[in-house]
């Protein structure tokens, strides 16, 4: 079977994103497999997987993400989650939900964030987690990220109270850093206790498949991938007449007499998805030809 599209995978706990790609590659017997939006091993949830030619469409997927997170207060760790070594552990029984709400508000909007030292960000060509494991101290670059919304879902009191939140954010936001910085703001320490990604690149957790689901569907012959253009609905589209569609698929530029956004989905008159085009000076330029017309 020819696989050209996307898989909405529910990543299991303790698997790396690379582990998931390798497993999908083996199950589908397909070489060209890639993923969008790396998830930490301790996180679960939506990991969009691209299959075949769709790997070239990963760059065009929407960037917004959403998570459900559990933040434990009173604890600091080396990795800003429970996978790391404990740096400090101090009960904070007097902490109130009102105090937490006030502190949490500062993390909405565009914020300056220092990523965890155990992260995949590169400094001088080397991954931060590799440098951290080698015991090297480096200055982690500050980045501007955007958090659209944080909703409190639950609050559990105790020596080490826990806060469940739903977070909608832009690309590059580290939820571990929010947990760490919330703890710093409250002067209690904080770390991420659990994380589920509920949305990523236009895919939702409710529609996702586990690796077990995928294997079962493949054995039963019922697996259906997500069509490539279904994942690109945030982009506007343009339909080309037959002659122009033929030329465009051959790599030729097409003059347009109407305005379209800069990046668009391209179709022919039979509603076949042809690929991605870019508009420059009223000329539509092929960026990725998905389905050539013979």
Catalytic one of 14, 19, 40, 124: 40
Residues for the chain: how many in total?
294
Q: Is 40 a catalytic residue?
A: yes
* Of 80, 77, 89, 79, residue with least CA distance to 160: 89
Helix (H) or strand (E) holding 105: none
Are the beta carbons of 164 and 154 closer than 8 angstroms?
yes
- Between the CA of residue 276 and those of 56, 215, 239, 242, 294, what are the distances in Å? 10, 31, 12, 17, 18
Kindly write down the DSSP assignment for every residue of 145-172, as one continuous string: EEEEEEEEEEEE-SSS-EEEEEEEE-TT
Q: Diameter of the chain by CA atoms?
A: 72
Catalytic amino acids?
A: 40
């Amino acid at each position: 079977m020819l696989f050209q599209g996307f898989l909405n995978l529910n990543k299991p706990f303790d698997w790396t994103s690379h582990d998931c790609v390798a497993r999908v590659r083996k199950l589908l017997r397909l070489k060209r497999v890639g993923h969008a939006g790396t998830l930490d091993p301790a996180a679960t949830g939506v990991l969009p997987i691209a299959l075949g030619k769709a790997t070239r469409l990963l760059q065009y997927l929407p960037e917004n993400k959403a998570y459900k997170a559990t933040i434990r207060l009173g604890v600091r760790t080396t990795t800003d989650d429970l996978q790391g070594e404990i740096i400090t552990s101090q009960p904070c029984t007097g902490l109130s939900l009102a105090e937490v709400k006030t502190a949490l508000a500062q993390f909405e909007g565009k914020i300056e964030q220092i990523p965890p030292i155990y992260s995949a960000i590169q400094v001088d060509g080397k991954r931060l987690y590799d440098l951290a494991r080698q015991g090297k101290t480096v200055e982690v670059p500050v980045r501007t990220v955007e958090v659209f919304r944080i909703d409190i879902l639950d609050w559990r009191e105790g020596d080490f109270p826990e806060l469940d939140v739903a977070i909608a954010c832009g690309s590059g936001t580290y939820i571990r850093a929010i947990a760490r910085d919330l703890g710093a703001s409250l002067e209690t320490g904080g770390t991420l206790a659990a994380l589920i990604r509920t949305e990523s690149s236009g895919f939702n957790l409710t529609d996702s498949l586990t690796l077990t689901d995928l294997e079962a569907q493949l054995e039963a012959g019922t697996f259906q991938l997500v069509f490539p253009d279904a994942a690109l609905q945030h982009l506007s589209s343009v339909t080309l007449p037959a002659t122009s569609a033929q030329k465009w698929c051959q790599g030729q530029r097409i003059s347009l007499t109407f305005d379209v956004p800069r990046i668009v989905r391209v179709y022919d008159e039979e509603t076949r998805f042809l690929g991605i085009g870019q508009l420059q000076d009223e000329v539509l330029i092929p960026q990725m030809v998905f389905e050539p017309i013979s």
